[in-house]
Amino acid sequence: MQPIYIVLILIAIIALGEVLSLSSRAKIPTLLVVVAVTFLLLQTGILPESYIEASTLVAVGGVLVPVLIVHLGTMIPLSVIKSQYKAVIITLIGLVISVALMLSLITLLFDYSTAVAGAGPLTGGIIAYIVTAEGLTEAGFTAIAAIPVVVFALQNLVGMPLTSTLLSKYAVSIRDDLSSRDSSNGEGDSDGSALLGANSQKKLLIPEKFLSSNFILLFMLFIGGALATWLGAVTGINYSLWSLAIGVAGAALRIYPDRALDRSNSSGFAMVALIVVVVSSLVGITFEQVVASLVAVITIILIGTTGLVLGGIIGGKIFKWKSTKAIPVVLTAMYGFPGDYLIVEEVSRSVGRTKEEEKRIMDELVAPMLIGGFTSVTVGSIVIASVLISTL
């Protein structure tokens, strides 16, 4: 079959996932649909395993991984991190406790490699999963290759409903206290969209006229990705950590604009290629392997989620946040953006009785939730996955 037809099939599966996710307001995760449908097609032989590689998107996605991580590093302005330091620290506490519990209890119940296979995906997003999957393959742990993909696909089903329930309880307290509280006392920014482009007005070292070119922006990102790959080979430190550091430092030094890949109008295609890399990890995984991994997967999700919740409770105690606010901020590690934003939007609309109440709930919650997700999915999980994989 011609590669264009294979790519069409794969993008159709992704589009189906997006339709179901948007229709359910992210209650049905896109990647869960993509993984489930693709795995079913591969197991039934409707989609031959050779077709995935023949699509050529696997190679493209592999090249784009370090570039995309550099882009992720440009997404969190340091000024925003400073203003939301409580959300950042609470999230990090949750990640540390969750990983510590998984490494101790999962190792005790199963083995260390199983703990590593689940820790990265559970504490973050697609990049952490890819780093984990690649590391397991390179280290020869093919027998547990199904664990990270199943954890990655199912964790949303636990994290999002739990977050929605807790945030709804906290939103009721905001609504009830509205008359006696000044809106300036909330921890959140007045507009969550400001977090997504908080650094867009800063003056960059490279003249704006050059940065208006998509090709120059892509060239700059590929320089960062290539440099990270070279540093990874020279130092032995995973390229993903170098990519993240280059993105953060480049944005802080005003070399990269914020959300650089988005500005180059290339993020959509990059994400498609990246999802195909995830899909390619299903090749060679059998139904029997998935079934055999379910006990470990369920245990990892339960223990990992417990660790995140404990971290939220402890962090909330430290900064005098209610647990119904602190725990959801940590749980963003299990789904990230846009799930975190959609949950806040839905909670504010369902709990608020007036437009004023809706706005106050949104203003209070959107900033820490977005920063919690960025901290865990964009930074923390990549560091965790990279470090743990290097220990195998």
Q: DSSP secondary-structure letter at 125?
A: -
Are 275 and 14 in contact by the 8 Å Cβ rule? The answer is yes
At 185, the pLDDT band (50, 70, 90 cuts) reads very low
| Pairwise CA distance, residues 181 & 164, whole Å | 23
Q: What is the per-residue pLDDT for 377?
A: 81
The per-residue pLDDT for 53 is 80
CB 195 within 8 A of CB 371: yes
Residue-level pLDDT at 306: 96
pLDDT reading at 180 higher than 70: no
Question: Which of 31-35, 246-250, 305-309 comes out lowest in average pLDDT?
Answer: 31-35
**Of the spans 254-258, 312-316, 344-348, 369-373, which averages the highest pLDDT?**
312-316
- Residue in 5, 1, 27, 37 with CA at minimum distance from that of residue 275: 37
22 versus 368: the higher-pLDDT residue is 368
pLDDT tens for 276-302 read 887 887 787 788 888 888 999 999 999
Residue 184 pLDDT level (bands cut at 50, 70, 90):
very low
Q: Mean pLDDT over residues 156-174, rounded?
A: 86
Mark 217-240 as b/e (b = at least 16 C-beta within 10 Å).
bbebbeebbebbbebbeeeebbbb
Q: What is the average per-residue pLDDT within 329-358?
A: 82
What pLDDT is recorded for position 11? 92
Q: Which of 45, 90, 56, 14 is nearest to 310 (CA)?
A: 90
Is 226 a residue whose pLDDT tops 50? yes
Q: Which of 284, 332, 296, 275 is nearest to 129 (CA)?
A: 275
pTM for the full predicted model: 0.74
Give the pLDDT score at 188: 46
Unique residue bearing structure tokens 């510590």: 100
pLDDT in tens, 49-83: 888 888 888 888 888 888 988 887 787 667 767 77
Q: What is the pLDDT of residue 195?
A: 54
* Distances in whole angstroms, Cα of residue 93 to Cα of each of 88, 307, 326, 328: 9, 9, 11, 13
Q: 24: which 2 tokens? A: 């359910």
DSSP string, 284-349: T--HHHHHHHHHHHHHHHHHHHHHHHHHHHHHHHHHT--HHHHHHHHHGGGT-TTHHHHHHHHHHH
With CA atoms as reference, report the closest residue to 377 among 330, 326, 319, 317: 330
Amino acid at 94: G
- Which range of 105-119, 182-196, 374-388 scores highest in mean pLDDT? It is 105-119
Q: What is the pLDDT of residue 223?
A: 96
Cis omega before residue 338 (within 30°)?
yes
pLDDT of residue 117: 92
Confidence class of residue 95 from pLDDT cuts 50, 70 and 90? very high
> Which of the residue ranges 250-254, 322-326, 334-338, 385-389 would you say has the lowest mean pLDDT?
334-338
Average pLDDT, the chain: 84
Please name which of 363, 307, 319 lies closest in space to residue 155, comparing C-alpha atoms: 307
List phi, psi (to 5°) of 255.
-90, -45
Between 182 and 271, whose confidence is greater? 271
Judge whether 221 and 206 are in contact, CB under 8 Å.
no
Do residues 129 and 334 lie in contact, with contact meaning Cβ atoms separated by under 8 Å?
A: no
Question: Mean of the pLDDT values across residues 88-96?
Answer: 94
Each residue's pLDDT tens digit, 232-254: 889 888 787 788 889 888 988 88
Nearest to 97 by CA among 299, 305, 302: 305
User: What pLDDT shows up at residue 186?
Assistant: 47
- The structure tokens listed for 342 are 């959609």
Q: What gap in Å lies between CA 266 and CA 189, rounded to an integer?
A: 29
Please give the single-letter amino acid code of residue 36. Answer: A
3-state secondary structure of 189: coil
**Section 123-142 average pLDDT:** 83
- ω before 328 within 30° of 0 (cis)? no
